């Protein structure tokens, strides 16, 4: 029988309330500007036993400083051409070390690397992706990669297989092409305001059962309610 984990991308409710309903969350704050390691250690200590944190890697690794997401970054960027897109720079590697320290503090199992659509499958981008993942220390972490934009299935599958990455994806947009577990991020069909129907959730459940483990993380405006409904669908 498949192990199916259901939760949200970020905390849509107070942490204490969230913990009473779900057993997994993808921490978003780290992507914008990582909190202190001590803060993450407190989150871990306050969470119930068996609760799982996954995290979205710091945007300095995956996004250029021209991204609007940098508006929430609380530091000055002096050399913008040395950040994002897995560039082989000391700055990107330092951003990974900060991400790794937080993953350790949270006792996380999965780190997600989400790339913008502007990260296209050029030779340079593919080479930098290889260099980055071959250079960093992963320890016992699982790495999930969510490419967006013009990537073809064979390009994604080839890199995931070569670099031991899980293809993270919204399965309503495209099917995953590699990974022993499913890491589904539900962004809303056609937009963030979408509310998933019972039929949608049944399809999602079917896709999850094709894997030995499925992680479904809702990232739409109705994420809390939709996640609750899917949890009820599988009997809690």
Q: Contact 5/214 with Cβ under 8 angstroms?
A: yes
Q: What is the pLDDT of residue 236?
A: 58
Mean pLDDT for the chain overall: 96
In this prediction, residue 1 carries a pLDDT of 56
Q: In the chain, which ranges are continuous DSSP H helix?
A: 15-21, 29-32, 37-46, 59-62, 90-106, 123-135, 153-163, 198-208, 223-233
pLDDT in tens, 61-81: 999 999 999 999 999 999 999
Q: What is the CATH number of domain 3-233?
A: 3.20.20.410
Domain range list for the chain: 3-233
Work out the percent of the chain whose per-residue pLDDT is above 70. Answer: 99
Q: What pLDDT is recorded for position 12?
A: 97
Q: What pLDDT is attached to residue 31?
A: 97
pLDDT, tens digit (0-9, with 9 covering 90-100), for 41-58: 999 999 999 999 999 999
Mean pLDDT of the 99-121 span: 97
Nearest to 14 by CA among 3, 25, 2: 25
Tens of pLDDT, residues 126-153:
999 999 999 998 889 999 999 998 999 9
pLDDT tens, position by position, 86-107: 999 999 999 999 999 999 999 9
State yes or no: pLDDT of 21 exceeds 70. Answer: yes
pLDDT band at 2; cut points 50, 70, 90: confident
């Amino acid at each position: 029988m498949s192990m199916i984990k259901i939760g949200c991308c970020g905390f849509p409710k107070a942490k204490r309330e969230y913990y009473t309903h779900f057993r997994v969350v993808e921490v978003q704050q780290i992507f914008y500007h990582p909190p202190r390691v001590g803060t993450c250690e407190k989150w871990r200590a306050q969470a119930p036993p068996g609760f799982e944190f996954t995290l979205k890697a710091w945007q300095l690794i995956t996004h250029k400083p021209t991204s609007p997401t940098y508006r929430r970054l609380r530091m000055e960027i002096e050399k913008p051409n040395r950040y994002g897109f897995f560039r082989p720079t000391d700055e990107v590697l330092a951003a990974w070390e900060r991400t790794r320290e937080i993953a350790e503090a949270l006792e996380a199992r999965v780190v997600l690397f989400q790339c913008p659509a502007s990260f296209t499958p050029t030779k340079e981008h593919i080479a930098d992706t290889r260099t980055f993942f071959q250079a960093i220390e992963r320890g016992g972490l699982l790495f999930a990669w969510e490419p967006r934009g013009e990537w073809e299935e064979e390009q994604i599958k080839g890199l995931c297989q070569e670099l031991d990455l899980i293809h993270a994806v919204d399965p309503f947009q495209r099917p995953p092409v590699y990974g022993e577990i499913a890491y589904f991020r539900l962004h809303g069909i056609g937009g963030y305001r979408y509310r998933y129907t019972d039929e949608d959730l049944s399809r999602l459940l079917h896709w999850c059962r094709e894997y030995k483990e499925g992680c479904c993380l809702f990232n739409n405006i109705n994420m809390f309610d939709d996640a609750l409904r899917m949890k009820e669908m599988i009997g809690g």
